[in-house]
Amino acid sequence: MKIAMIGTGYVGLVSGVCFSDFGHDVICVDKNPAKIEMLMRGEVPIYEPGLDALLAKNVEAGRLSFSTDLKAAVAGADAVFIAVGTPTRRGDGHADLSYVMAAAEEIAQALTGYAVIVTKSTVPVGTNRQVHDVIAKANPKAAFDIASNPEFLREGAAIDDFMRPDRVVVGTTSERARDVMGEIYRPLFLREFPILYTDLETAEMIKYAANAFLATKITFINEIARLCEKVGADIKQVSRGMGLDGRVGNKFLHAGPGYGGSCFPKDTAALARIGQDHACPMEIVETVIKVNDDIKRRMIEKIVDLCGGTVNGKTIAVLGVTFKPNTDDMREAPSLTIVPALVGGGAKVRVVDPQGKREGEALLPGVQWMEDAYKAADKADCVVILTEWNEFRALDLQRLASKMETPRMADLRNIYHRADVTKAGFEEYVGVGR
């Protein structure tokens, strides 16, 4: 199959590379010449484990290429995937669909024969029908069908998620489009990974409902963690006790400083707005958004209290600023709320992150970037664990404590036990929910 992937952001690039590894002929298109030149050199503009090697393999095999020429990429394509950004629109919480609609208009003018236009971007219910109308209006003679194919990729594990998915969702009302999509995903079907075919609206809703539910699960356990601190329970054991129940499951039950990233914040905001527009308020989702914001602020209070009621004049080492490990993504990361508050409170903040500096330098002004945790902790008054990168899970705690002016730890990911930390020489320790 010949595939044109419009957009080389996280979703577009990972999807395009993986489709080429299925054996398809894929052209990834982007308006940014610098990004395309980088990709043509074999350089990956995002950090995703294994993506650079998979990209190089398929470029060498002649199945994967990159271009700024949308018209040439779309001509003769069996399927054209729209994988452009849908950020939260300022002022009203809606998903900004301007990039999607602009792509649809360009695609319409470039079509030379029948193609399935597939929306890979996360879009509100009804968007795919709007895409259909935009294309039909821009090119009344175009032969095409529309399909919705939402992505369910976890940053840091995206390749495995694409190659071994829990499910593939395809929304379409056309048998011909269904056949094309079935052929594209044929390698997964042969390995018996489930492909769920629905109508357009259902496919669109599945994506929002799934992300909102996972965000709710994270926020729920963070609420329980707060109560655990009041009553003397241990959230780690509570989460384990809940997760062993097959009806609940153990994923997304880890207490911490709140969710962030490119999906949950914008998708919960968009779903809440969709509900308001249809006079069907998503009250649980609206509460999740509010509570998640409150959780980040409570983390700031934890750090301030640990430092004796003020961070003014204190040196604080922050370990991890990306929203999760194994990514360089800083979007809506808890660090973007917590670190500026510490700087604003008069603290000298040192930051360590294996991949966060590229984006973080512009987003976190006033901090000092350090090479490792031990250098960051030198003469520091407090160390704060914000992101659970593997290299922060096995620190030499005794060495870390010995370097500090005042050995204190705010472990906001609960990766250490209090007994181990205090035994290593830390005077004070605070976690989340225990």
pLDDT in tens, 339-393: 999 999 999 999 999 999 999 999 999 999 999 999 999 999 999 999 999 999 9
Which of 258, 259, 239, 236 is CA-nearest to residue 248? 239
Residue 130, classed as helix, strand or coil, is helix
Residue 256, marked binder: yes
Q: Is 152 annotated as a binding residue?
A: yes
Judge whether 253 is annotated as a binding position: yes
Q: What residues act catalytically?
A: 263
Report pLDDT for 90.
78
Q: Under 8 Å CB-to-CB from 333, ≥6 apart: which residues?
A: 260, 261, 321, 322, 323, 387
Q: How close are the terminal C-alpha atoms of the chain, in Å?
A: 54
Strands of the 195-198 sheet, one edge to the other = 64-67, 25-29, 2-6, 79-82, 115-119, 144-148, 168-171, 195-198
Q: Which residue type sits at 397?
A: L
Is domain 2-198 annotated with CATH 2.40.170.20?
A: no
Domain with CATH 1.10.1040.10 in the chain: 208-290
132 annotated to a ligand binding site: no
Distance CA 274, CA 86 (A): 15
Q: Is 417 marked within a binding site?
A: no
Tokens standing for residue 194: 């489930």
Domain 296-430 has CATH 3.40.50.720: yes
* Token pair listed for 154: 């976890």
CATH classification for the domain delimited by 208-290, as one of 3.40.50.360, 3.40.50.620, 2.40.30.30, 1.10.1040.10: 1.10.1040.10
Give me the torsion for CA of 333, 336, 339, 344, rounded to 10°: -160
Token pair belonging to 225: 């963690």
Per-residue DSSP letter, 89: P
Q: How confident is the model at residue 190 (pLDDT cuts 50, 70, 90)?
A: confident
Span(s) in the chain for CATH 3.40.50.720: 2-198, 296-430
Q: Give whole-number Cα distances, 124 to 7, 36, 50, 173, in Å.
A: 19, 29, 31, 18
The predicted model scores a pTM of 0.92
Q: For 233-276, how does the pLDDT look when each residue is reduced to its tens digit (9 = 90+)?
A: 999 999 999 999 999 999 999 999 999 998 899 999 999 999 99
Contacts by 273-282, CB closer than 8 A, 24 or more apart: 273/92, 273/93, 273/94, 274/124, 274/125, 274/208, 282/212
